[in-house]
Chain A
Amino acid sequence: MSTTETVPSPEPAIGDPNAPVVSFQHVSIGFDGHSVLLDISFQARSGEMVIILGPAGGGKSILLKLANGLIPPDAGRVLLFGKDINKLTQEEMFEFRSHIGMVFQESALFDSLSVRDNVAYRLLEERDDPEDVNRRVTESLKFVELEHAIDKFPAELSGGMRRRVAIARAIITQPSLLLYDSPTGGLDPITSTTIIELVMKQRDVYESTALLVTHRLQDAFTLATHRFNMKTNQMERIENDGVDPNTTLMVLKEGHIAFTGSLVDLLRSKDPYIQEYLA
């Protein structure tokens, strides 16, 4: 299977093309009086992948929902493509979201719809030409190697397949920003590797910006030390123990950012929390 000939041109960027794709400025949020995220500031430039690590219940999913404007921050600002999302109207927000793809923690497929309709959801909403929709659905499913499951329903799929359909659904419009919420959560190690390989393929083939949340350190290691080879259609280690320059790691600890930097920096960190985390 050849990936190169099915690369569609990416969506035209919106907002300020020079601004970071996502930017959190002193963002805080809490529920029922206890805070989940406290004064979080970071950004992702175009083409960058930020991997967010942290313990379960540490607010990783909340962070992604903030980045998609699904929930508003209690304090601080979230900027998407240079625009403060709190200042957008409901309509503008929906328009903005067409440039963002999100893969939810438990896939969140619509269980009343077939795989085809799930993947095509956004296109059907925009009432695109049916032939074009079919072509793009097939293309997107081909990317995740699930063309054969097009007529199945979510209940008939395994956890790993569901996750792949969720990825296909998120990337169908080739969004400028991708948000992955624990894409390997609840999967066995082999399936997890397949999913990480897909995420890497998306990163290296389309060079899209992404935030990826995971509690598995191994996911972060694999993504930082490997690249996708389009000729062999497989991931491979970056030579000389190198790391991917566009992949940044971020560690959350009790609502704060305990670390940001490359994998090399992480391994060198003297911070006791990080050392304990790595151990």
Chain B
Amino acid sequence: MEIGEFLREKVMAVQEYSLLSWTAMTNIFRRPFYWVDLYTQADLIGVGSAPIVILTGFFTGGVLALNSASTLAQFGAKAVTGTLVSLSMIKELGPVLTGLMVSGRNASGMASELGSMQVTEQIDAMRALGVDPLKKLVTPRVLSTIIMLVFLTIISDALGTLGGGWISSTMGINLSQYFHSAYQALRYPDVLEGLVKPLLFGFIIATVGCYFGMSTRGGTQGVGRSTTQAVVVSSVLIIFSDFLISQLTIGLFGR
């Protein structure tokens, strides 16, 4: 393919993606609003992803404690393990890992579901029956992913801190000291950062998943392609925007 053609295609895709995201968000304020679909999606994303988020959160906290405690022991600073675990969990790993897990599970799910609907003309049928697919399919998915990802991230943060505590206690760190240092370490900007990230990641997961689903062409093969692309693109965007937000908070709050 010619390079100019390639670039033109990518620019068009970004433009279409932006339009879809914008419409999905402004639809929140337009009638009709599909509450039932919002609820179904929230259940699917929130409850469905809870087990994997709990597991990954717990063991990530554990492995953080394992690594930091053994390193800190060399400096005689094992007592600050709690600080390290809670800061890393809440600022970075909780949001990012939860985002990546939900992206693997739900961005792909959305892309394949909407993609199959697209190639079997169900999306067209919906429009033909007087229903706007952006309102009915996209907006509820975007909104529920944003909301649920915040809760899932909080769960992951909590489980990570717990997992860190469990490992610390096996390494001879006093538990109450661990939790004390974990709690003391947190400042308002850290918590803010940890909660803004899932808002953005949720938005990325759902809009990217829905965009690739809605723009699927070329039968069942196309559905497979969209699904893979949705996971790859949303994961990269999550990690990239995580970097940007971390930069921004350091610029704003100095930590």
Contact = CB atoms under 8 A, between A and B. Distances in A.
A68 B132 CA distance: 14
A70 interface: yes
Interface in A85-112: 90, 94-95, 97-98, 100, 102, 104-106, 108-111
B127 A106 contact: no
B130 A104 contact: no
Contacts of A259: none
Contacts of A122: 129-130
Nearest to B30: A91
Contact of A102 (B120, B128, B132): B128
Contact of A100 (B120, B126, B128): B128
A108 B130 contact: no
B124 A125 contact: no
A68 B121 CA distance: 14
A227 B177 CA distance: 89
Contact of B125 (A90, A94, A95, A102): A102
Nearest to A69: B127
Nearest to B127: A70
Contacts of B126: 110
A94 B124 CA distance: 12
Nearest to B116: A111
Contacts of A215: none
Given A102-B125, A108-B125, A110-B125, A125 B120 contact: no
A108 B127 contact: no
Given A104-B121, A106-B121, A108-B121, A70 B128 contact: yes
B131 interface: yes
B122 interface: yes
B121 A97 contact: no
B128 A68 contact: yes
A94 B121 contact: no
A102 B130 CA distance: 11
A102 B128 CA distance: 7
A169 B126 CA distance: 11
Majority-rule SS of A interface residues: mixed
A206 interface: no
B132 A90 contact: yes
A65 interface: yes
B128 A98 contact: no
Contacts of A105: 121
**B124, B128, B130: most-surrounded residue (chain A CB, <10 A):** B128
Contacts of A153: none
A65 B124 CA distance: 9
Given A105-B121, A108-B120, A108-B124, A97 B132 contact: no
Interface in B103-137: 120-122, 124-132
A121 interface: yes
A129 B127 CA distance: 22
A175 B104 CA distance: 43
Contacts of A70: 124, 127-128
B55 to A, nearest CB: 29
A97 B127 contact: yes
A97 B124 CA distance: 12
A252 B127 CA distance: 26
A266 B132 CA distance: 41
A98 B129 CA distance: 7
Contact of A97 (B120, B122, B129): B129
A97 B128 CA distance: 6
A125 B121 contact: no
Contacts of B120: 106, 108, 111
Contacts of B125: 102, 104, 108-110
A110 B130 contact: no
Interface in B45-63: none
A79 to B, nearest CB: 18
A94 B125 CA distance: 12
* Max chain B C-beta neighbours (<10 A), residue from A95, A97, A105: A97
A91 to B, nearest CB: 9
Interface in B147-182: none
B131 A125 contact: yes
A100 B127 CA distance: 11
A186 to B, nearest CB: 13
5 contacts: A97-B130, A106-B121, A108-B120, A108-B124, A109-B125
Interface of B: 120-122, 124-132
Nearest 9 A-B pairs (CB), nearest first? A108-B125, A108-B121, A102-B128, A104-B121, A122-B129, A94-B130, A97-B130, A98-B130, A108-B122
Given A95-B130, A102-B125, A122-B130, 20 more contacts: A65-B124, A68-B128, A70-B127, A70-B128, A90-B132, A94-B131, A97-B127, A97-B128, A98-B130, A104-B121, A104-B125, A104-B128, A108-B120, A108-B121, A108-B124, A110-B122, A121-B131, A125-B130, A125-B131, A169-B129
